[in-house]
Each structure stands twice: as C-alpha cells, then as structure tokens.
C-alpha cells in the first residue's frame, strides 16, 4: 500500500474543531491516516514526499446535481426563455444523443470538473453505462442515476425502469466503492404518480436512495397544484418518495410548511445557484433551509444551463446571492458555503468518509496555488477560497488516494483527444 | 514606431457590425491599425509576429469603480453587518494607512487586475500621487480621483479640496494620456451640500468630470431624505453635480423618476454587483437602467468588499443575477454584459478610443487561452467568455500598445516583491 507524506502544507480541513492546520498529512492507500502539526516519524517509511509549500490543501468539491453529457450543448442556446430553450434547443439535440455522444460529453465534463477540483459528482442522465465507464476511467467518485421521464407508453416506462434497476444493480459499489447509485424519477412534472410509486418501490427493493428535480420554477409548482391539487413537496411525500433517503435538486420555490416537511424526512437539497439564475428560475430560500436544519449542498446542473462546471463558482454564488437578495450580510457565511460544496455535499449523498481532511477519511483532496495575488495578504484563508480564488488555482487533485491531476495536468484522461472528440460530436449533432 | 502583427487570431471585437473576426490584427505604436480576415501585405514590415492560434483576443476590461489600496484589507472582516464592518474593521485600519501602504496595496491590486485582463481602472482614494505613480509603473490606463469626505472642519475640507485640485492638475493627461482625472465628493452622505457645490465648481474650473458613490444602500437613501428632504439623485441634481459629466458608483436603490433624471443628464452608472451582493446592499435595477438608455458599466469596488478584482466575475454576475432576480431569462444578455465590462466602461469615463478592437482604437487588448475544456465545444465564443471562462484564462495583456503580461507573467511589476511587501504592510497595520 502506497504511503505518501505531504510536508509544509496548509490544510483547510472542514473539521470545525481544527479548521486550519499547518503541517503534515499522510495518505495510505485510499485514506488519510494522519493530519497534524508535527511531522510523523520516521519519514523514511514513505514512498513519496510532496513539498506542500505555497499550497492550500482542502477536501475536493462534491457536485451534487448535474447532467455531464450536456456539456456538448454548452453555449448552444443562451439568453432565451426557458420553454424556447428546452423545446427548440435542448430537447431536439438531446434526442439525437447516441451513447457515444454521452460518453464524450461526459468525458469533457469530467475533465473540466476534475481539473477544477471536483472529486465527486452526481449525474442523472440516460446511457448511464457510458457515464459510469467514463467515471471509472477518470478516477472520479460518482453517484449515478438513470433519470427516467415517464411521459410515454407503459411499455416504454417499463423498459426505462428496468434499465434504471439494471444500472443500479450493475454499478452500485463498483470501482472500489467509488461508484454508487440512486433511483430517479426525473421530476414530478415528467412522471405520472403511479410511475413514481413504482420507482420508489424499486428503490426499496434495491435499498437505494432517491434523486429527483423538484420545484425548480414557479410555473412547475403551479402546474403541480393544478394537476394534482398539491404542491410538489406534498405530492412527492404522498407518493412515498421521502420514505426513501432522498436528494432533491433545485427546490427554489418552497413554503415554510414545505421546508418543515423536508426537514422532517431529512430530505437533502442540492442548491444550484448558477443554473437557477441563468434560467431565471429564481433564488432558493437557502438561509431558511439552513435555519431549519435541512442539509443543503451545491450542484452545477448541466453545462448547458450554467455554462461551466465550476464548483468554486457555485460556492461563491451561494455565499453572495443570499446576502444581496435578503439584505442580510451574514445570510450565508463563507464557512457555510464551503461546507455545502464539500463536506455537506458528501453527506448529501450518504458518503460519511468524504469531504473532510482527517485521519480515517477518504483521501479526496485538492491543492490550490496560494501564490496568486488574490490570496494576499494572508488574512483569512477560508474567506480567500470562497470570495477570491479561482478553480484555475487548483494544481493537484487526489481522489481515493490516487492523484488524477498534478501541476494542473489531468493524468487519467487525454485532454486533447477529449476536446477534439467533443467538438466532432457537436459538429455531427448540428450538421443535419 | 513598433509594428506588431497577430496572425491566426480569433477576435471578439465589441463592434456590433463584426462581433467576431478570425484573422489578423496589426498594432502600430499605441493603436490598432488593422483588423481583418485577410493578411496585411507585405508581412516583412513587422517588428514582431505573434501566432494567435488557440487564443481568443478581446478588448481589455474597464473597471469603473474601486479603491485599489483596500486590497490590503482583503478578507479582513467578512460576513458582518455593514456598519460593524465599516466601523470596527475598515475605518480604523484605513485610518492607519500611510502613503507607503497605499502604494503597496495599489500595486497588489494592479498586479491582480492586469493579470486578470483589466486594462483600465477607476480609483477613488487618498494618497493619490502614490496611486498615479504605481499606475504609470504598471502600464495600466487609469482614471483617478482624490475622493474627499467632508465630515470635518472647514480648514480640513479646504486642504482636501486643494489636494484634489492639485492632483488633477498634476496628473490629468499624463503618461501619454493614460492617466485622466475626475473630481469626487465621496458621497452625498459624507459631504455637506456646500462642500459638494465647491467640488462641482472646481470640476467646472478644471473642466473635469465628477465621480461619486450614490444610493448604495436603502438606509443611505432614507437618511438623505430625512436630512435633506430629497432622495440622493434629486439632491445631487440640485447641487449641480450633474451639470458636469458624471459617473456614479452603485446606484442600487433608484425610483423610475431617478432613472429618468440620470438619463436626462447622461449620468453614467458603475454597477458593482459583487460588492453589492457581499455587503447585502441589494441588486441594482440594471435592466431598467439599460431600457432607459443609461450608460451602465461595471466595477469591482475595493477588494475588501468583493473580495477580488476580477472583472470577468462582475461581467458574469451582471449577466446572471438580473435574470434570477427579475425572473426574465433575457434580462441582461451575454453581449450586453460583456459590453458593460469593456466598451461601455471606456465610454463611461469618456474614453472614446478604448474598448473595441478596430483600426484607430487604442491597442488595449487581452488574449485568453481557448484550449481549456470550458471553451468546448466551439458554439458561441461570447457566451463562453461571459458564462464559462475564468480571468485566469488570460495569458497576454497589451495596454496602449505595450505588452504588460505575456504567458501569464506580469512584465512591468515584480510579483514576488509586491506580494511580500503587501504581506508586510498588513502585518504592520494589524500589529499594534
């Protein structure tokens, strides 16, 4: 088992007891076995020693909602009304996606995410075998789910559900546990109630959590009321979704009662501020969710509605927009935003040994170059990361004890090939 | 006169007639003399040829509001109520600033801004000779003003005004015209009316524009009403401020009538979205300002309230937040946000030959590395810059025909020295 020692490092641990440690970290195999001020003895026992001078180490980012393959549509349709964007731009193109497109689009996203410090991501899409295989190759940690849309004949519903079940059976726990699975009705507005109930049953049978879009737009909430007489939270509660551990994406439009229900069932919320702003969906009630004790994490959503997969940008948005919109300068503090993007992201997908630098935790961490001017003076490093830094400051990325990025270069993927193939896919998709 | 040819470049011109050009650009001395698809002949005439393959060229960013020296207080007091932040953190520290501190803090900001693609900046502060000297050294284009606070005895007011006048006389038009000056009452809430009138008179005498903070917070607007019976716009109008060409910073809290007055006097607004969000001041009515035809540009404000000086981040925020807050996905389009951060920034400070890549314009431009994954696929480059790119993608910066950054390295300033001295200043300021 490989033993690595990092010396002279500065570590943001995400452990509230010791948020910042200057000193040493030891990685053995896939786990951190030591973090502290004192050098471990004897130093000869290490296979590799890394000088951490000038580097800021912290847990990798956990991106809790996205559709990686949609990076093929980055910039293809911006600044338009949601329905026009969906109906004229996204859906026709996505309808043409082959499994090859999904593989290449996912690779492009993985490259961007990994280089930018994301060490775990959630993905809900189609052709999920391609997504899982690309994830394994890249070295990333992934929580994957075949999102099913149920607005189709019963036999198509059946086939999709069977596919989702098979995917979960095939992949949950694979790649030394780096891959986990969830079950996903795409959303209450795209799945009939009985179909959602069948998906919940499958999740019970497989003992897996649920992931779904929920209350992203005001219109969707109103449509739910018109169609079912209930707002989405009560609707999903009624269908038994929350009887499973659940992660919902967006949750922009919530009443106080709905927040209380989410808390009651320990439903986790993936807040996607960049996507919600860009699509003009609104600003989620994050301060109220936090106050109620709901576990909130951060997601980029797909690159077509963001338009990048930069978790540090989501962390910054989460720290900034709620202050500006509520008028409360302490609405979401830097530490809280950083926690949403790391430790709470991991907890949100039931990973209890990810998201913190501490002996016993998985070695999922990043190093940032602290020698950029925006890291000076050295007042408050947590503040610097949240309000000043760039994901391009990330120089090294380690996932499950394996370095996948060093000196800014991705070691697990051929960057030139991925970009070239992504461009080819896009040109083929738009050619006809 | 040096003649430089860029070949194989992709240029975002900010010229609506030809927004994107693939081809060649010629720089002679401080100006662009050619931009077009065809190669200029004969190519032997050039002193330097630059291969622009894989580079995206565009006008440099114009940062229309800030306080560069405040970078010394970056991260020193975040996530606190505005009054606590000002009274307990900012003012006591700023009160200790020596001219050396202002020089070093400004250098740190210039380093960050220039490396991040800002080619022109506005600065309102004290010890402005230091700011002007640092600006000249760095090679940046600057519009500078000694901001005066008038809550002091008459003789101190007199001294400050005399200093502001002398600064403008000494520096306006210096460094081959790279330095221009304005006259600045700090704000209506920090200057008695008669003092503002004297500053306006000085601006008339010097034939210079005005710059001031205005309507940043709801409280400030209410205080103005309580004290003077007028909201800030009418108050400044009454005092004759708008009889001079004027740039106001923030303008978050405006009525329709106030927007109409700003339009009537062609007052320019520096929108500072990052600072306004972080200090919980609110969200400016930018879509309404644009609809009314008011010239809106972008500013970072000081690094203590942002906490970086990243104009691309302000451009992105301007494009995103107004969509999310108004619910209109076309509220501020990518092109409009980019224009605010470049061409309209230049116009806002009365620079009519800056902010566009076109023959005859000043050679103030940047190059970005388009080979990052977030620039793929090549769908819409303007969208990619606004929604996907990072200021860390900036590789080269040319100001007034002179390259000040090449391959990410600043050529005009000693980066290590600046960072070291900034750290020393901060430690001395906080030591006692």
Pairwise CA distance, residues A288 & B23, whole Å: 52
Tell if the CB–CB gap between B78 and A328 is shorter than 8 Å: no
Residue B82, pLDDT > 80, answer: no
Task: For B234-272, write each residue's pLDDT tens digit.
Answer: 999 999 999 999 999 999 999 999 999 999 999 999 999
CB B145 within 8 A of CB B181: yes
Nearest residue, CB atoms, A379 vs list B76, B108, B388: B76
The domains of chain A are located at 3-59+357-410, 61-348
Query: What are the chain A neighbours of B81 within 8 Å (beta carbons)?
Result: 329-330
Q: Is B324 within 8 Å of A282 when comparing Cβ atoms?
A: yes
Burial B191-211 (b: 16+ CB within 10 A, else e): bbbebbbbbbebbeebebbbb
**Percent of chain B, pLDDT > 70?**
100
Q: pLDDT tens digits for B183-213? A: 999 999 999 999 999 999 999 999 999 999 9
Nearest to A188 by CA among A241, A146, A139: A241
Answer yes or no: are the C-beta atoms of B30 and B265 closer than 8 Å: no
- In this prediction, residue A159 carries a pLDDT of 98
Contact A278 B111 (CB under 8 A): no
A431 C-beta neighbours (distance < 10 Å), count: 6
Nearest-Cα residue of chain A relative to residue B110: A373
pLDDT beyond 80 at A97: yes
- Whether B409 contacts chain A with CB within 8 A: no
Q: What angle do CA A178, A179, A180 make, to 5 degrees?
A: 120
Q: Is A362 on the interface with B (CB under 8 A)?
A: no
User: What is each CA distance from A139 to A96, A309, A354, B212, B249, in whole angstroms?
Assistant: 28, 17, 15, 52, 47
pLDDT bucket at B153, cuts 50 / 70 / 90: very high
For chain B, give the percent of residues with pLDDT over 90.
Answer: 95
From chain A, the residues in CB contact with B379 under 8 A are 73-76, 426
CA distance B159 to chain A (A): 32
How crowded is residue A10: how many other Cβ atoms within 10 Å of its Cβ?
20
Q: Which CATH entry fits the domain spanning A3-59+357-410: 1.10.3720.10, 2.30.40.10, 2.30.30.40, 3.50.50.60?
A: 2.30.40.10
B-chain CB neighbours of A320 within 8 Å are: 274, 277-278, 317
Per residue in A265-303, pLDDT (tens digit) is 999 999 999 999 999 999 999 999 999 999 999 999 999
The DSSP line for B334-361 is: HHHHHHHHTHHHHHHTT-TTSSS-STTS
**Contact status of B89 with chain A (Cβ, < 8 Å):** no
What are the residue ranges of helices labelled H in B11-98? 82-84, 91-96
| Distance (Å, whole) CA A151 – CA A163 | 16
pLDDT digits (tens, 9 = 90+) for B355-377: 999 999 999 999 999 999 999 99
Which residue bears the tokens 């049978």? A205
Q: Is B146 annotated as a binding residue?
A: yes
pLDDT band at residue B428 under the 50/70/90 scheme: very high
A265–chain B Cβ distance below 8 A for any pair: no
Contact A78 B383 (CB under 8 A): yes
Half-sphere exposure for A326 (CA within 13 Å, toward CB): 18
B428 contacts in A (CB within 8 Å)? none
Average pLDDT of the segment spanning B320-332: 96
Mean pLDDT value across residues B87-92: 90
Interchain proximity A279–B388, CB inside 8 Å: no
The answer to whether A358 faces chain B, any CB pair under 8 Å, is no
In contact, A396 and A367? CB cutoff 8 Å: yes
- Of A358, A333, A328, give the one whose Cα is nearest residue A346: A358
Contact A200, A165 (CB under 8 A): no
Do A141 and A178 contact (CB within 8 A), yes or no? yes
* Whether residue A82 has pLDDT greater than 90: no
* Domain A61-348: CATH superfamily, name plus number: Metal-dependent hydrolases (3.20.20.140)
Question: Would you state the pLDDT for residue B44?
Answer: 81
Contact B376 A108 (CB under 8 A): yes
**Chain segment A136-152, per-residue pLDDT in tens:** 999 999 999 999 999 99
Both ends of chain B: CA-CA distance in Å? 52
Which residue is closest to B109 within chain A, CA to CA? A373
Contact of A69 with chain B, judged by CB distance below 8 Å, is answered with no
Q: Determine which of B73, B75, B110, B283 to mutate to test the interface with A (most A C-beta atoms within 10 Å).
A: B75
Q: Residue range A203-207: average pLDDT?
A: 98
Angle between helices A311-326 and B311-326 (to 10 degrees): 60
| Residue B66 and residue B106 in contact, taking contact as beta carbons nearer than 8 Å | no
Task: Please name the residue ranges forming H helices in A209-298.
Answer: 218-228, 232-238, 256-264, 273-278, 286-292
Q: Render A85-109 in DSSP notation, one character per residue.
A: IIIIIIHHHHHH--HHHHHHHHHHH
Rounded to a whole number, what is the distance in Å from the CA of B431 to chain A's nearest CA?
13
Determine the average pLDDT of the residues in A67-91. Answer: 90
Residue B141: what pLDDT?
99
> Which residues of chain B from 117 to 176 reach within 8 Å of chain A, CB to CB?
none
B155 is in an annotated binding site: no
Judged by CB atoms closer than 8 Å, whether chains meet at B280 and A331 is answered as yes
**Contact at CB, B307 and A427, closer than 8 angstroms:** no
Look at A198-212, B37-51, B167-181, B312-326 and tell me which has the smallest mean pLDDT.
Answer: B37-51
How distant is the alpha carbon of residue B51 from its chain centre?
30
- What's the pLDDT at B81? 78
Cα of B323 to nearest chain A Cα, Å: 5
CATH for the B3-60+355-410 domain, from 3.30.70.360, 2.30.40.10, 2.60.40.10, 3.50.50.60: 2.30.40.10
Q: How far is B208 from chain A (nearest CA, A)?
A: 33
Establish if B256 touches chain A: CB-CB under 8 angstroms.
no
Concatenating the DSSP letter of every residue in B105-128 gives: HHHHHHHHHHHTTEEEEEEEESSH
ipTM of the complex as predicted:
0.98
Is the separation of the CB atoms in B412 and B138 below 8 Å?
Answer: yes
């Amino acid at each position: 088992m490989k033993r690595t020692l990092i010396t002279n490092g500065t570590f943001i641990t995400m452990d509230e007891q010791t948020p910042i440690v200057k000193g040493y970290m030891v990685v053995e195999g896939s786990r951190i076995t030591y973090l502290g001020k004192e050098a471990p003895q004897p130093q000869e026992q290490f296979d590799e020693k890394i000088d951490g001078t000038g580097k800021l180490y912290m847990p990798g980012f956990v991106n809790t909602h996205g559709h990686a393959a949609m990076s093929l549509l980055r910039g293809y349709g911006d600044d338009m009304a949601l329905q026009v964007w969906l109906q004229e731009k996204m859906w026709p193109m996505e309808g043409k996606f082959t499994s090859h497109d999904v593989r290449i689009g996912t690779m492009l996203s993985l490259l961007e995410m990994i280089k930018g410090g994301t060490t775990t991501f959630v993905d809900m899409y189609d052709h999920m075998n391609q997504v899982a295989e690309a994830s394994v190759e890249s070295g990333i940690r992934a929580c994957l789910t075949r999102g099913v849309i149920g607005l189709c004949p019963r036999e198509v519903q059946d086939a999709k559900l069977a596919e989702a079940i098979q995917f979960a059976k095939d992949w949950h726990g694979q790649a030394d546990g780096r891959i986990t699975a969830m079950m996903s009705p795409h959303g209450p507005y795209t799945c009939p109630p009985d179909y959602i109930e069948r998906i919940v049953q499958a999740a019970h049978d497989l003992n897996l959590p649920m992931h779904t879009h929920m209350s992203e737009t005001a219109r969707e909430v109103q449509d739910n009321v018109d169609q079912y007489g209930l707002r989405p939270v009560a609707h999903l509660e009624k269908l038994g979704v929350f009887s499973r551990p659940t992660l919902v994406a967006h949750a922009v439009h919530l009443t106080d009662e709905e927040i209380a229900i989410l808390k009651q069932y320990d439903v986790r919320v993936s807040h996607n501020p960049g996507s919600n702003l860009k699509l003009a969906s609104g600003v989620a009630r994050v301060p109220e969710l936090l106050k109620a004790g709901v576990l909130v994490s951060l997601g980029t959503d797909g690159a077509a509605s963001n338009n990048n997969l930069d978790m540090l940008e989501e962390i910054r948005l989460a720290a900034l927009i709620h202050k500006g919109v509520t008028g409360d300068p302490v609405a979401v503090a830097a530490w809280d935003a950083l926690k949403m993007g790391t430790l709470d992201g991991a907890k949100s997908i039931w990973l209890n040994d990810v998201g913190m630098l501490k002996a016993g935790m998985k070695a999922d961490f990043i190093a940032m170059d602290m020698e950029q001017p925006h890291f000076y003076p050295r007042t408050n490093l947590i503040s610097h990361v949240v309000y000043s830094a760039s994901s391009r400051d990330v120089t090294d990325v380690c996932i499950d004890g394996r370095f996948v990025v060093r000196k800014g270069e991705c070691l697990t993927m051929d960057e030139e090939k991925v970009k070239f193939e992504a461009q080819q896919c896009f040109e083929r998709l738009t050619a006809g």
